[in-house]
Amino acid sequence: MDFMVFQYPMITVQACLDGILLGILFALIAYGMALQWGVMNIINIAQGDLVILGGYIAYFMYLYGIHPAWGVIVSPIIMYFVGVGIYKLVINKVVDRDLFISILATFGISILFMQLMNFAFGADVVLANSGYGTTFLFDNAVVLPNSKIFSAFISIVFAICLVIYMKKSKLGRAIRATAQNARAAKILGVDTEKVYAATFGINAALCGVAGALISITFTIHPYMGLPYTIRSFMIVIVAGLGNLPGVAMSGMGLGVFEEFADYILGTEFRIGSVFLLLVLILVYRRFKLSRKREYLK
């Protein structure tokens, strides 16, 4: 235990800012998960692996001399088709089946992706340098890498675009209609098969954006996907489906929580504390649910 974070007020500010910037990025991944969970009732365990794959796209652009920030545009385009491909190959066979089956299927995809990425790109840890420099605040006491600020900014831009798209476009309306009632949507002429494929593609594209941002801010490695899946799962559980402000809030909350856990408990408990929080939230929700049920009785 280390309470330095409370002794030096500037560290608290630093932790909060770091956490919020990080949380916005998490929220973007979580939003993709919430979208396809809500529409297709599928929990995508391979979410984190899609993120990492998106990161590799940006990394390869960087290797070939293109600034990795362009990955934010290129990566989602490629990932959209990857997502649609996965849907056509696997997901469409499990989409209206039991939730357990879809979890197993995406778990399989996750393992497959990990090994394929390891095979194709090697087990080296890699990163893409943006060369963005650093912002100093409060007389140099708080330091924010510009790459983190850039990540958060891009995440917000994409989230806003997506919200507008969902509200205004024809496909967006079809997706929302399918989420509300797939059967009714079908009867009214919505091609749900197409909607599902597009939803999965959009989710993969969001993962692609997040992956490109992660390769700029952190590091990527074929086996680093799972923590991102867990985080987005947790954010969605807390926020609920189809609740974007909720996803954003709980994303930032999780980011700040992680940073403080890092300072107080130590970096080794950072991911551990996320898992612990997940368990606590699940137990709490169950508890609340059972109370409600009793009340209904």
Partner 1 sequence: MKINKIILSFISAVAILLSTSVVSFAKVVGDKIVLGAAISLTGKYSSNGVHTQNGYNMAVDRINSMGGVKVGGKTYKFEIIYYDDESNPKRAAQLAERLISQDGVEFMLGPYSSGLTKAIAPVTEKYGVPMVEANGASRSLFTKGYKYLFAVLAPANLYLDVAIRTAVELNGGKGVRIAQAFEQDAFSQDVRLGILDAAKDTGSEIIIDDKLPKELNDMAATLVKVKQMKPDVLVVSGHTKGALTAIRQIAEMKVDVPMLAMTHCDAAKLSKQHGKNSQYALCASQWHKTLTYKDNFFKDGMTYAADFQKEFGYDPPYQSAESSAALLVFKDAFERANSFDQKKVRDALAATNMQTFYGNIKFAPGGQNVDKPMVLFQVMCDSSGKCENKVVAPLKWASAKLIHPIPKWSKR
Binding positions for partner 1, rule: CB under 8 A: 4, 8, 11, 14-15, 18, 22, 115, 118-119, 122-127, 129, 134, 136, 143, 145, 147, 214, 218-219, 221-224, 226-227, 259, 262-263, 266-272
Residue with tokens 């420099």: 133
Shortest Å, Cβ 24 to partner 1: 15
C-beta closer to partner 1: residue 176 or 270: 270
N- to C-terminal Cα separation, the chain: 46
C-beta closer to partner 1: residue 240 or 272: 272
C-beta closer to partner 1: residue 147 or 199: 147
Shortest Å, Cβ 269 to partner 1: 8
Residue 61 corresponds to which tokens in the numbers above?
A: 């652009």
CA distance 225 to 292: 36
Residue 31 corresponds to which tokens in the numbers above?
A: 């939003």
To 10 degrees, what angle do helices 71-86 and 192-217 make? 140
C-beta closer to partner 1: residue 168 or 267: 267
- Give the list of residues 6+ apart from residue 202 with CB closer than 8 angstroms, or none: 32, 35, 36, 80, 83, 162
C-beta closer to partner 1: residue 107 or 269: 269
Q: To 5 degrees, how large is the angle CA 204–CA 207–CA 209?
A: 115
Provide the 8-state DSSP code for 126: B
Which runs of consecutive H residues, i.e. helices, occur in 46-144?
47-63, 71-86, 92-94, 99-121
Shortest Å, Cβ 123 to partner 1: 4
- Give the list of residues 6+ apart from residue 165 with CB closer than 8 angstroms, or none: 171, 172
Shortest Å, Cβ 118 to partner 1: 6
C-beta closer to partner 1: residue 135 or 169: 135
The torsion angles phi and psi of 25, rounded to 5 degrees, stand at: -65, -45
Residue 220 DSSP SS3: strand
Shortest Å, Cβ 60 to partner 1: 14
Shortest Å, Cβ 127 to partner 1: 6
Question: Which neighbouring-strand residues pair with 220?
Answer: 126
Q: Position 166: which residue type?
A: M
Shortest Å, Cβ 270 to partner 1: 6
C-beta closer to partner 1: residue 41 or 118: 118
C-beta closer to partner 1: residue 268 or 294: 268
Shortest Å, Cβ 139 to partner 1: 13
Contact between 6 and 211 under an 8 Å Cβ cutoff? The reply is no
